[in-house]
Amino acid sequence: MATNPRMLVILTSILLSAAVIPNVFAVTEVSSAFQIFFSDSSDKLLSREYPDLKIETINLNRKPVVGEPVTITARIRNNGKNPANIISTLPMLSATSEIEGNLNTANGLPTRDVFGNPILNNELKPTDLVDLKVIWIPKQDVLQKINLDVDYAHTIKESNEINNGGKVESLVLFDRLRCGQEVIREGKNYALDNYIFSVKSITNTSVLTELNGQPATLTLSANIISMLKGYEIDLRSIDAASKHALIEIKNCNGYSDGITGGVVASRDCTTRNLKTGQSVRIHGNNIQLNAVQATGGFSEYDITIEINDKPYTITKKFGLLGILETNDDVSIQVSTATDSVSNLHDAAALSICARPRF
């Protein structure tokens, strides 16, 4: 078909006019055709010459447990053709839970990329990779979906504004188990070192559990100790009415001081064996064992602890539990304690309850 010279003139005029129309800024040839890029409704210009920030991977540094800080790391790449200029005081990454709402944000850029190269002038150059981190302290032991958004305030003009998001799902565990005696509850999932310990059911005589999917039935029968992935787990007592049980865990990779108290299973209680200076966070409360001091009587001690930075002293006498109730909505029983000569190996078995129940 012959080309009409007049139509060529008209088309040429249209293209030249496009260069001065504010909403049109680029013409790119693609297979003998052309594409014109327009701004979106918020007048954010889109250009292939701009940077393009994208979340490549998302990782958690540990299995999420209620009340324990978890670091969420998002690896960010600049897929664009030009550097992204980052304002160090502005949030670059946001994390939001579909259940718990806004979690946290991360400002600016790290000082180095993932290969150890310095980040200069707050610029993320093309193909650069950096890790941005936010801290999350879970509140609910359910399956949680976390949405991440890089440059969520849209302070950087990008060639692609729709690839800034990412999502990660993780089961939040009810509590963390350690070597020694622990109170467990039916239907709850716990962290045991790097495993997930699930309590499926509790009856009058047994507890059905799983450790990373490996099933095991714990029984009250004498001298029967279940073996799960190298752990020895002994069922000590059952409270069938409240669906709680007391177990003793041995051969852990984690902390064990050999203290085994006789604390019975109680509702909303967790048993911890602590040495001097060690602390544990349970039900939103930080409990630290500061000292165990023998008071001169037979198996009588003063146990000094801190609850949310407030000091307390619990007196334990022979044959009796040391009991502390506080205004911090925490109750503590001390079943066993040791006072070493150097005080470096002082230890106590504490049963910590979320509400006064003793």
CATH of the domain at 325: 2.60.98
Does residue 355 fall inside a structural domain?
Answer: yes
Our count of domains for the chain comes to 4
Q: Is the pLDDT of residue 26 over 90?
A: no
Q: pLDDT: is 308 or 97 the higher one?
A: 97
The pLDDT tens digits of the residues spanning 185-224 come to 999 999 887 789 999 999 988 999 988 888 888 888 755 5
Indicate the residue among 139, 156, 171 that finishes a domain. Answer: 171
Would you state the pLDDT for residue 169? 93
Q: pLDDT: is 120 or 331 the higher one?
A: 120
Does 354 lie in the same domain as 282? yes
Does residue 26 fall inside a structural domain?
Answer: yes
Q: How far apart are CA 180 and CA 261, in angstroms?
A: 9
Q: Is the pLDDT of residue 43 over 80?
A: no
Q: Tokens at residue 238, please?
A: 């059952």
Does residue 43 fall inside a structural domain?
Answer: no
Q: Is the pLDDT of residue 96 over 90?
A: yes
Q: What DSSP assignment string belongs to 1-60?
A: ----HHHHHHHHHHHHHHTT-TTEEEEEEETTEEEEEE--TT-----TTS--EEEEEEEE
Confidence tier at 109 by pLDDT (50, 70, 90): confident
The pLDDT tens digits of the residues spanning 45-62 come to 455 689 999 999 999 988
Would you state the pLDDT for residue 342? 62
Does 215 lie in the same domain as 130? no
DSSP assignment, residue 195?
Answer: E
Q: Among 79-93, 196-210, 342-356, which is the least confidently predicted range?
A: 342-356
Would you state the pLDDT for residue 224? 59
The pLDDT tens digits of the residues spanning 139-189 come to 999 999 999 999 988 888 888 888 899 999 999 999 888 777 788 899 999
Does residue 22 fall inside a structural domain?
Answer: yes
Q: pLDDT: is 24 or 63 the higher one?
A: 63
Would you state the pLDDT for residue 252? 61
Does residue 85 fall inside a structural domain?
Answer: yes
Would you state the pLDDT for residue 220? 82
Indicate the residue among 205, 224, 255 that finishes a domain. Answer: 255
Would you state the pLDDT for residue 330? 75
C-alpha 153 chain-centroid distance: 24
The CATH number that applies at residue 116 is: 2.60.40.10
Name the residue range of residue 304's domain: 257-358
Mean pLDDT value across the chain: 77
- Percentage of the chain modeled with pLDDT above 90: 25
Would you state the pLDDT for residue 47? 53
Average pLDDT over residues 294-311: 84
Most trustworthy range by pLDDT among 191-205, 245-259, 288-302, 339-353: 191-205
Does residue 268 fall inside a structural domain?
Answer: yes
Average pLDDT over residues 269-290: 81
Q: Tokens at residue 288, please?
A: 């630290």
Q: Is the pLDDT of residue 42 over 60?
A: no
Confidence tier at 257 by pLDDT (50, 70, 90): very low
Does residue 44 fall inside a structural domain?
Answer: no
Would you state the pLDDT for residue 236? 84
Q: What angle do CA 279, 193, 253 make, to 5 degrees?
A: 90
Q: pLDDT: is 262 or 75 the higher one?
A: 75
Taking CB atoms within 8 Å and a gap of at least 24, the contacts of 284-290 are 284/67, 285/328, 285/329, 285/330, 285/352, 285/354, 287/330, 287/332, 287/350, 287/352, 289/346, 289/347, 289/348, 289/350
Does 235 lie in the same domain as 281? no
Cβ contacts of 297 within 8 Å, gap of 6 or more: 317, 318
Indicate the residue among 255, 279, 300 that finishes a domain. Answer: 255
